[in-house]
Each structure stands twice: as structure tokens, then as C-alpha cells.
Structure 1
Amino acid sequence: MIKPLFYRSLSLVLVAPAILLLMTLALGLTGISDRILVSIAEQTLQEVKKSLATQIHDPSALEAAIQLRKQEIYSSYGLDKPWFYRMFQMIVRIATFDLGRTRVIKSFTGSQEVSEIILERIPNTILLVTIPLIFSAIAGISIGVKIASRPGTLLDRLTSYLSIISYTLPSWWIGIVLIILFGFYLKIFPVSGMYSIPPPSDTLSRILDLIWHSILPFTTLVIVQIGGWIYSARMIVLNIAQEDYVNAARAKGLPEDIVRRRYILRVAAPPIVTNIVLGLSGSLGGAIITETIFGWYGMGSLYYQAIMTLEENLLIALTYIYTLIYISARIILEVMYLALDPRVRY
């Protein structure tokens, strides 16, 4: 059992270099990588021109010096070679977690190291995206399992309709409605940012201020997520509850709690756990729309900023990290399947 599980995990791990390769090929073949580096090189060259102009007054000598420095600058960025030479080096560098530096985007402390920028954004995303996901999953699964035991009742129909409405509502629309209602009209909650301006000085006040600013985006994500959890849990449990072995257990006179726990939830556990683990791993990628609307500095808004500013290193690093998170989640699921479902054998 261990050997097949190892090979399955190894096949998942090979996804990471494949994603890196595809990402770098996309940037290279489309010419985006060259355009980004040429833009950086030209900015550097402009600074060099200003410096040389104050030192060299002969126009021909100045032009010759500029051309020489231009060749040196272009060579330092790898622009004197075909793009695939540079892309191969980037793949090796990113794969070994040498994530490089950004051009424009900086960390809260002013650092341009990609690793530092990412590390300071992850806690913000966990607070805003992961915690609402956990809350929505626990509440949604509990409600879904409960109403699945009473199919066709008024409560079941009402909850099903509300869950479908919740699932189909776009997060940006809910966010804007909450901002208009509670931010502008009632003026109860702040409409943007993570802290007040100026932020509180003591630790407790900062924590309370952060919680206060997170209520609207937190509520937005819960509203749009909980419906999906209710509906999926209801459908999974409802389908299993109609199986013959469940009806046989009820015919034997077993209490409904035992039937639900031993014969329904045990079988329903693998797909529900799959949704939870993949949802948690996906939540670390952030919520681009919600974070942008509420001015929250998380992984989602960071990815959006990286796209808008064409931060090549940051884009590839974020994609690589998201891939590693997904691979880790899949390996965890493979192990959990063995514990949850005795029928699974590799």
C-alpha cells in the first residue's frame, strides 16, 4: 500500500515543474518576458544617460559610452541571448525557492524581495479568506446534513432555495451592497482597508480595529460560500441515504442517529473532506475580487497587482506556490482516503 501511495504522490509532485515550464513558455513565446525586461533595461539606461551626460561633454564620446553601457545592461538582463536560455535559469531558480526581487511592488517594510512580500500577505489572506471558509464549511455541512434527513419538508425546500441563491450571488455585488448599506448609509463599518488612519498604537486596539475592518469582507465571503456547502452536503447525504444498505439498517430498527453516523456520514465523509481540503488549499490563494473591493492586502490582491504591473518574478513565484499548495492538499487527501474509506486500496 505504501509503495503505490508513494508513486501517486511522486506523480503529483511532478506537476510543479510542469506548471513552471508551461508558465515560462507562455511568458517567453508571447514575448511578454522580453518586453518586461526591455522596459526595465531602458529605465536603467535612462538613469545611466543622465549620469554620463554630467561626466562626458563630447557628443560622439557620450553616444559611444551610452551604447557600451546599453550592451552591458542588456547583457546583464539576459537580453543578448534567446529567451529560452533565460527561462531555463528562471525555472531552476524558482524551483529552488530563489524567488528574486520585484520592480515596483514592495512589502510593508519597503523590501522588494518576493519571498518577504508573499510571507507578509499570507496571514492577511488566512484571516480574510480561510477563516470564513472554515466557518461556512462547518455551518453549511451541519445545515446540509440536518435538512437531508428531512427531505421534502418546508425547511428542506426553503433552505435549498436560499442555498442556491447564495451560491449564485457574485461576491463583488454582495460586497458593494454591504459597503453602500453599512458603510455609507448606516456608517457602522469601514468600507476599505485593514486599519484605521492613523492605525491604533497598542496591540489590543490594533487587533480590535483589524476585526472591525474585516467584518464586511468576512460577511461577504460567508454569504456567497455557505450556500454551496449546504447544497453539496445535502445532495451527498441525500443520495447516500437512499441506498439499500441504509434502508436495511433502518428496517432493523436501529436509531436514526446511529444510521446517520455509521451508515451515511461515514460513506459521505470522503467527498465532503475532499471539498474541505481543496477549499482550504484554494483559500490560501486569496479572493481577488473581494480583496480588491475592500482594499485588503492579501494574496488575491497581490496577484492582481502582479498582473497589472507585469511583475514576472512575482507572477511565476505565486503560481508555483499555489501549485505546491494544491499538490500538498492532494497528497493529504490520498492519505486521508485510506483512513476514511476502507474500500480504497492502491
Structure 2
Amino acid sequence: MKEYIIRRVLISIPILIGTSFLIFYLFALLPGDYVDSNPSLTPQRAAELREFYGFNEPVIKRYFNWIAGIFHGDLGFSFQYQQPVTKVINQFIWNSFIVSIISLVITWIIALITGVYSAMKQYSIFDSFVTFFVFAAMSIPSFFIGLLLIKIFAIDMNLLPVGGMIDVGSNTTGLAHYVEIGRHMILPVFILVLLGTGSLTRYVRTSMLEVVRQDYIRTARAKGLKESKIIFKHALKNALLPCITLLAFELPALFSGAIIIEQVFNWPGIGQVQLESLNNRDYPVLMTFTMFLSFLTILGNLFADVAYAAVDPRIRLK
């Protein structure tokens, strides 16, 4: 296992290098830059800024300067926020992470329970309801659900805040501050859970249906084992194997932010920063964050391979 992990890490190094060049080169091909996005600048001032920021240098030189900065802990400077990129990302990424991790945990708990039970009660009323819910959840746009919930719970019933992370002008501290943040998180988390539970429940149900029809499940039932032991000890572990791949790809999603939901609820997350950076052509922020997500994707794949062996003893990593 140790040798496999070390070898995978070594293989990941050239993959990251190639990914970094591809990301930088693609952003370099985009027309315009941050200077062009400011129409109030005179041509002389625009030329001075372009020379100052190094936009006139060859792409390969700019790439190596960027890589050298990464190794020295300098990920660039955000033109939009007038701050180092690391400070900008660190300021907003955790706001997205806390919403994503809570949504992920709740989504998986609900999907596993409903998916397994729906597979065990195939074609029942409960299974039909779950199937209807899955397609309904995947069909309704997230921004429509968000606006509808704001209308009902925030405006009409006045039970929850309209948006933001804290109340306007709030000075709460300690436990009251966290409770206030929790109230603002209810609607965004609910929508993310609603959207994620539908497809994942269907995936778990399909995987369970394939497993319970296998010969070893019939053999276990013929031996007289309890149904609960058959389902949760034998069937569920094998049914989770395809789901591990989905869980591994959730790692970059935890930090990427939900752009639409953050816009609807005015949540100060990294998804909103990405959209604003794209509109203002703040490419250092976009390049750094894209590279960070690429690293998390490679790390998630490594986690999936190791988790396969942990869940299924038949799998041997060599």
C-alpha cells in the first residue's frame, strides 16, 4: 500500500506540471486582460500598467515567473481586490467550504438511507415517491427554488433571513454569532441537499439493485442469514464501490463553491469571487484557484483508489 501511494504521488507530479502549463496557456489565450476591463484608463496609462504587470512579456516567461512564485509562496496579486491571491482565496473559500461540507454530509446520509430502502422495496409506493422526487429535484432550476424559498420563508413568513452570511450591522460574538450564521445557512444548505440528494439516491438505488441480484446474496439468504445482516454487511459494502468514485470527486466540489446559490443568497463564497474575477478578467485569481482544484482532483482520485481496497478486500493495489 505504501509503495503504491508513493508511486501515485510521483506520477502526479508531471501531471500537475502539465496541468499548470495548460491552465496558464489557456488563460493567456483569452482576449484582453484586467487593464482592458477598465475603460476609464487612458491609452498611455493602460500601456504603463500592462508593462508594470508584465502582460507584454512572452507567455513562456510569464509562466515560469508564475511557477517560481508558487514555489516561493507567492500565488500572484489580485488586480480586482488589490490583495495577494492567497489572502483573497483564504478569505472566501472557507465560507463556501462550511456550506458544502454540511450539505455533503446531509446529502449522503439521506441518499444512503433512501436509496437502500428504495431498492429493498422496489416498485412500492415509497420507491415510486423516491423516483418522482429524484426527477423533480433534478428538473427544477436551483435559482428558481432559491427565489421561491426566499419568497415563502424570508418575505412572507419572515422566519429566515433573505441572504448574506450575517445580519446587516450585526455585532454578535461567540455562540450567538455562530447561531446567526447557522440561520443564514439554512436555505442555501437545504437547496444544495435537495439538488444533490436526487441524483445520488438514484445512483445508490441502482447500485443496490445490481448487488442484491448477485449469486452470493442468494446464497446468504439460503443459509438463513438475517436480512439486515445481508443488506448492511454484504450488499451495501459492494454497492458503495461505485459511489466511492463520486465521493472522491466531491473533494474539489467542497472548495469550488456554488456560484448560482451564492449569487441568489448573496453568500460571500469563493464561487461569487470566481464569477467576479471572470467578469473583471482577474486571471491570477482564476488561474490559482483552477490549479488548486486540479490538485484536489488528483488527490481525490488517489483517495478513491485507496478507499476501494479498504472497502473491498478482494482489491489489491500493486
Normalising by structure 2, we get a TM-score of 0.90
Partner of residue 54, structure 1:
none
User: In the alignment, does 2:19 pair up with 1:19?
Assistant: yes
Q: Distance in 2 between matches of 1:329 and 1:293?
A: 29
Partner of residue 133, structure 1:
104
Q: One-letter code of the match for 1:100?
A: G
Structure 2, unpaired ranges of 5+? none
Partner of residue 7, structure 1:
7
Structural RMSD (CA): 2.5
**Per-residue deviation, residues 285-304 of structure 1 (Å, max 9, x unmatched):** 11011011110011211111
What does residue range 145-294 of structure 1 map to in structure 2 within 5 Å?
Answer: 145-294=116-265
Deviation of the 1:30 alpha carbon: 3.6
Q: One-letter code of the match for 1:81?
A: E
Partner of residue 119, structure 1:
90
Larger radius of gyration: 1
User: In the alignment, does 2:302 pair up with 1:304?
Assistant: no
Q: Distance in 1 between matches of 2:50 and 2:173?
A: 49
Q: Distance in 2 between matches of 1:261 and 1:191?
A: 42
Q: Is the 8 A contact 2:118 2:126 kept in 1?
A: yes
Deviation of the 1:218 alpha carbon: 1.4
Q: One-letter code of the match for 1:18?
A: G
User: In the alignment, does 2:60 pair up with 1:84?
Assistant: yes
In 2 relative to 1, CA 47–77 (structure 1 residues): closer, same or farther, beyond 3 Å?
closer
Q: One-letter code of the match for 1:310?
A: R
Q: Is the 8 A contact 2:95 2:268 kept in 1?
A: yes
Count of residue pairs the alignment pairs up = 316
What secondary structure does 2:256 align onto?
coil
Q: Distance in 2 between matches of 1:201 and 1:233?
A: 42
Higher alpha-carbon deviation: 73-82 or 250-259: 73-82
**Per-residue deviation, residues 201-232 of structure 1 (Å, max 9, x unmatched):** 33232222211111111111111111122111
Partner of residue 70, structure 2:
94
Runs of 4+ in 1 over 6 A off after TM superposition: 44-48
What secondary structure does 2:266 align onto?
coil
Q: Distance in 1 between matches of 2:63 and 2:5?
A: 33
Q: Distance in 2 between matches of 1:177 and 1:79?
A: 45
Normalising by structure 1, we get a TM-score of 0.83
Q: Is the 8 A contact 1:13 1:327 kept in 2?
A: no
What secondary structure does 1:36 align onto?
coil
Q: One-letter code of the match for 1:313?
A: P
In 2 relative to 1, CA 243–98 (structure 1 residues): closer, same or farther, beyond 3 Å?
same
Q: Distance in 1 between matches of 2:121 and 2:24?
A: 52
Q: Distance in 2 between matches of 1:95 and 1:318?
A: 16
User: In the alignment, does 2:4 pair up with 1:28?
Assistant: no
Partner of residue 295, structure 2:
324
Q: Is the 8 A contact 1:167 1:226 kept in 2?
A: no
**Per-residue deviation, residues 82-138 of structure 1 (Å, max 9, x unmatched):** 3332233223323554212211226xxxxx121111112122112222211211111
Q: Distance in 1 between matches of 2:72 and 2:302?
A: 21
Identity between Structure 1 and Structure 2 (%)? 27
Deviation of the 1:31 alpha carbon: 4.2
Higher alpha-carbon deviation: 318-327 or 158-167: 158-167
Q: Distance in 2 between matches of 1:120 and 1:316?
A: 17
Q: Is the 8 A contact 2:25 2:59 kept in 1?
A: no
Structure 1, unpaired ranges of 5+? 49-69, 107-111
Q: Is the 8 A contact 2:103 2:193 kept in 1?
A: yes
